[in-house]
């Protein structure tokens, strides 16, 4: 399956759960990308702090792993707010 940019109006093509989406404004798309970029930067910092490989999913401690989980949850919830 081809990848679809999360800010694309075609983002429904690979989603089996949500059946209807509204078209996002350019500002909403930009905000969604900013939130995701900030989340990715924070997760990269967690790897830097722990001295682990940023391309992997292993963290140096349980605390950093939990921080990653909460960062992912925060990004998901912010994106849900934007796209609701």
pLDDT of residue 9: 72
Which pTM does this prediction carry? 0.78
Provide the CA 53 distance to its chain's centre, in angstroms: 19
Contacts of 75 (CB under 8 A, 6+ apart): 35, 36, 38, 39
For 31-76, the pLDDT digits (tens) are 999 999 999 999 999 999 999 999 988 999 999 999 999 999 999 9
């Amino acid at each position: 399956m081809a990848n679809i940019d999360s800010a694309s109006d075609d983002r429904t093509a690979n989603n089996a759960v949500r059946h209807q989406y509204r078209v996002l404004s350019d500002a909403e798309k930009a905000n969604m990308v900013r939130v995701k970029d900030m989340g990715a930067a924070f997760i990269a910092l967690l790897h830097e702090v722990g001295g682990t490989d940023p391309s992997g999913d292993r963290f140096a401690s349980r605390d950093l792993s939990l921080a990653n989980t909460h960062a992912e949850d925060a990004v998901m919830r912010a994106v849900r707010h934007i796209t609701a």
